[in-house]
């Protein structure tokens, strides 16, 4: 097997009450695991691709053989995005960021509350299935970017710092159609120290 499902970086109940244990079991153990299985199936006959880092596969899809390209974008993206999402969250987290990312959020969005409002508005308004990303672009400037399906910000030259999964499977069991409520709960479990580390690495 080329790629494996990484374990969650915390217990399945660590994000309660904001994301319930049952959702975590299905989202990680079924959805995330299925992306891993389908990625491996897609590149079964391509041992050279199995040896490469996932970032390289999804970061430069133009270099992939055409017959597997869309499958790697979809399932490889699904693998990478979910791993990044789990690492973007933590129990007893949330609050406000510190350090360079705090300064950059203020510079790019006016103030922290304005960033939260713009990010939440983007996530609420994303049509269909996709992800809302906070990324660093040129010169470390921060931008909010909605991407559909499992498309990767790595493929368009952005450096992701934080993300929320707004596919219905991310919240429907607990929140049903109330996506804004799920997005509101997200702020209580954002792992800002992880986002700070990621931004420091970009700079
Ligand atoms: Mn998902």
Tell me the domain boundaries of the chain. 21-87, 99-202
Strands, DSSP E only, in 61-151? Answer: 130-136, 142-148
* Average pLDDT along the chain: 97
In CATH terms, the fold of domain 21-87 is: Helix Hairpins (1.10.287)
Burial of 129 (0-12, 13-18, 19+ CB in 10 A): middle
Read off the pLDDT of each residue in 57-81 and give the average, rounded to a whole number.
98
Q: Quote the ligand 1 centre to 154 CA distance (angstroms).
A: 18
Whether the bond into 17 is cis, omega within 30 of 0: yes
**In the prediction, which pLDDT does 151 show?**
98
- From 3.50.50.60, 3.55.40.20, 3.20.20.70, 3.40.50.1220, which CATH number describes the 99-202 domain? 3.55.40.20
Q: Measuring CA to CA, which residue among 185, 181, 175, 183 is closest to residue 23? A: 175
> Which residues, by Cβ under 5 Å, contact ligand 1, an ion?
165, 167, 170
Q: Quote the ligand 1 centre to 167 CA distance (angstroms).
A: 6
pLDDT tens, position by position, 16-36: 999 999 999 999 999 999 999
Q: In what order do the strands lie in the sheet with 159-165?
A: 142-148, 130-136, 159-165
pTM exceeds 0.95: yes
């Amino acid at each position: 097997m080329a790629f494996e499902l990484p374990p969650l970086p915390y217990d399945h109940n660590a994000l309660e009450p904001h994301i319930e244990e049952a959702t975590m079991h299905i989202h990680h153990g079924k959805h995330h695991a299925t992306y891993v299985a389908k990625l491996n199936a897609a590149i079964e006959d391509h041992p050279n691709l199995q040896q490469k880092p996932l970032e390289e596969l999804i970061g430069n899809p133009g270099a992939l053989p055409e017959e597997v390209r869309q499958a790697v974008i979809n399932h490889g993206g699904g693998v990478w995005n979910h791993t990044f999402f789990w690492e973007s969250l933590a129990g007893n987290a949330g609050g406000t960021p510190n350090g360079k990312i705090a300064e950059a959020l203020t510079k790019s969005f006016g103030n922290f509350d304005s960033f939260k409002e713009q990010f939440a508005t983007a996530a609420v308004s994303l049509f269909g299935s996709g992800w809302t990303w906070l990324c660093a672009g040129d010169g470390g400037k921060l931008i909010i970017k909605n991407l559909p399906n499992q498309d990767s910000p790595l493929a368009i030259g952005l450096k992701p710092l934080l993300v929320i999964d707004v596919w219905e499977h991310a919240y429907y069991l607990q929140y049903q159609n109330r996506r804004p409520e799920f997005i509101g709960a997200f702020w209580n479990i954002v792992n800002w120290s992880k986002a700070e580390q990621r931004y420091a690495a970009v700079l």
